[in-house]
Every structure is written in structure tokens, then in C-alpha cells.
A and B are shown apart, each in its own frame.
Chain A
Amino acid sequence: MLTMLEEVVLLAVDEKTGQLRSTREFGTAYALVGAVFFDLALAKKIDTDTETIHIIDTGSTGNATLDRVLANMAKHPKLTTVRAWIEELFLQRDDLEGEALASLIKQGILRHEVSKLLWIIDVERFPMVNNQHQQLAKLRLARAIVTDEIPDTRDIMLVSIADQCGLLPYVLSASELSNRRDRIQMLSNLETISRKVTDAILNLDATVRHAMTKVV
């Protein structure tokens, strides 16, 4: 099974061109940190409540990215809130997207191509070798959003992260998303990690707006 981080990055790959859709650079960076926390929660390595994050097991998950983040967290016991950890990992600027892409290539789901633009600039693409994983993730997202069924907790997490990354327009039409916006917000609100990622993104947006106002 793919990790949450791998699933979200896979959803960002355009299946026709192999290019990465990057619609919200900083928002996506925050959301990918959230995906790692969800992976650690699903692996029963961390738990959260309304504000704090607890390490419950420092043993290996079998995934290098998750193990590195977990080891990093264990070294900083004074950092206890979900929000503080989201900001800390965001500032470390680890290449979570690159690590997930490398893993997807290793698993035979994507391949890596580099071409030249104007004979100078490298352009990376990640064409699909096997699109079943992406199709399945899209189906799970669509079902979680369009129906009124209670989704699996993993799919609740995926909806929130995909929304924060701006990927849902590649899964559902604009009218479907508009009609189900309340449902998407309701599902995203169920998880503390999602709420805190949203807070971090909103805070960043406000900071950027404030800076832009000063410049103008």
C-alpha cells in the first residue's frame, strides 16, 4: 500500500503529460507535512489531540522518510504541539515531494524523464508506468466526497490533503466541487492534523497579504 505522502504526490502527476501539477506551492508544502503526520498516525507511531502531538513508538516504519521525521521528532521533546511541528518541518524544507517521487519510481508506478527546454533548461517529467494507483485514489476521493457515506479514515485524510494541495479539481468537476464544498470542509475538519495544516496555510496567506500591502 502506498503511503499518504506517495498517494498525494501521485495525484499531482498529470497522467497525460507526466508533469507535476503545482498549484499552491507553500500550501502544498504544508499539506505534504500533514501527509507525513497522517502516515505516522496510521503506522501508530504518533497520536494527536486537539493541540498536542505525542510520539508513542519510535520503532522503524520501514519507510525512510517517515523514519527520518520520527527520529527528528524524538530529538525535540520540547516541541509538543501539532502546529509547532508543522511549522518546524515546513521550515526544514525537506524535499518530501522528491522523496515520494523517488519511491514511486522505485515501485514501478512512475518513470523519470528529463528533456531540454530551449536546449538549456532541464524539464523533468514523471510519466505513468502503472496508472491503477492514481485511478484508485481518484475513485476513493470521488466516492468520499460525492456520497454521504462515512468514508474510511484513510480517505478522510486523503480528501483533506488533496484539497489543501489544490488537487480536487483534477478529480471532480467544478460544479461537483461547488455542490460538495460543505462536505469537503466537514471531512477535513474531522482531523486535528488537517485543521492545523489549514491554520498554517491561512496564517501564511495572511502574512503574504500583509507583506504585499506594505510593498504596495
Chain B
Amino acid sequence: MIEVTQETKSDWCVVAISGRADAEAADQLESSLRAAIDTHAKVAANLADVDYISSAGLRAIIQAARAAQAKHATFVVCSLTPSVKKVFDMSGMHHIMRIQGGLPC
């Protein structure tokens, strides 16, 4: 299960996610990010409170990044916990999306 909150800071829409980003949560994760991308030019996915991510969770983020690319929106994934960063590094997610240590705003 995940909890998702959304707030606007400067010209960024920050989508904060907390909990386990697994198969059970993947649809909610993808739809929350897509909804933000549909309505904002700059979206940051804040994963500071995500303690676990599975392949299904990664796919949800890839699909969101794909939607942002198609819309020419800026999409950033930030504040990864060490366990989630390990999964991102192993998968080479930085090759297809922008990942940074802290929030961009």
C-alpha cells in the first residue's frame, strides 16, 4: 500500500509517495504520477518515504516518465532511500529518466 500526496512548490508539482511501491500499489502509483503530468509542466516524484520498490513499481515509474516525455513535460525522481536507490542503480533507471538526491524546488 502507498499513500500519495500532491503539492505545488514554485512551478513544480511534487508528488510525495510513501509506503511499499509493489504490484499492489503500482496502478495507484502510475495513475497519480500521470494525473500530475497531465496537468503540470514540471513534476517531481518524491520517493523519500518509499522503503521498498519492486519491478511492478519500477514499471509504473517508467510508464510515468514515458508519459512525461510524450507530453514534453519535465519529470524528476528524487530523494531515493538507500534500498530504493540500490534497485534504481541495478536497473540503470538513470539512463532513461532524471534522478536526483533532493527536491528540485
Tell me the smallest distance from the CB of B28 to a CB of chain A, in Å. 13
A47's partner among B54, B86, B93, B97 (CB-CB below 8 A) is B54
Known contacts A150-B96, A190-B91, A193-B55: A44-B66 contact under CB 8 Å: no
Q: How far is the CB of B64 from chain A (nearest CB, A)?
A: 10
B interface majority secondary structure: helix
Closest beta carbon of chain A to B83's beta carbon, Å: 10
Task: Return the CB mask of B45-77 against A: 1 if under 8 Å, else 0.
Answer: 000000011111011001101100100000000
Residues of chain B within 8 A of A153, CB atoms compared: 59, 62-63
| Complex alpha-carbon distance, A44 and B57, angstroms | 12
Q: What is the CA–CA distance of A190 and B91 in the complex, to the nearest angstrom?
A: 4
Q: Is A18's CB within 8 Å of the partner chain B?
A: no
Residue of B nearest to A188 (CB): B92
* Residue of chain B at shortest CB distance from A42: B59
Q: Which of A34-66 contact B (CB under 8 A)?
A: 41, 44, 46-50, 54, 56
Residue pair A150, B56 in contact (C-beta under 8 Å):
no
| Least Cβ–Cβ distance between B84 and chain A, in angstroms | 11
Q: Who on chain A is nearest to B22 by CB?
A: A47
**Once bound together, how far apart are the Cα atoms of A150 and B75, in whole Å?**
13
- Contact indicator per residue, chain A 27-38, by CB within 8 Å of chain B (1) or not (0): 000000000000
A151 within 8 A of B: yes
Residue ID in chain B nearest A190 by CB atoms: B91
Taking a contact as CB atoms under 8 Å apart, the answer to whether B69 and A150 are in contact is yes
Question: When the two chains form their complex, are residues B55 and A49 in contact, meaning their CB atoms are under 8 A apart?
Answer: yes
B-binding residues in A (CB < 8 A): 41, 44, 46-50, 54, 56, 149-153, 156, 186, 189-193, 195
Chain B residues packing against A (C-beta within 8 Å): 22-24, 52-56, 58-59, 62-63, 65-66, 69, 86-87, 90-93, 95-97
Contacts A44-B23, A49-B55 supplied; 8 other A-B pairs, CB < 8 Å: A47-B55, A54-B54, A152-B63, A152-B66, A153-B63, A186-B92, A190-B91, A193-B55
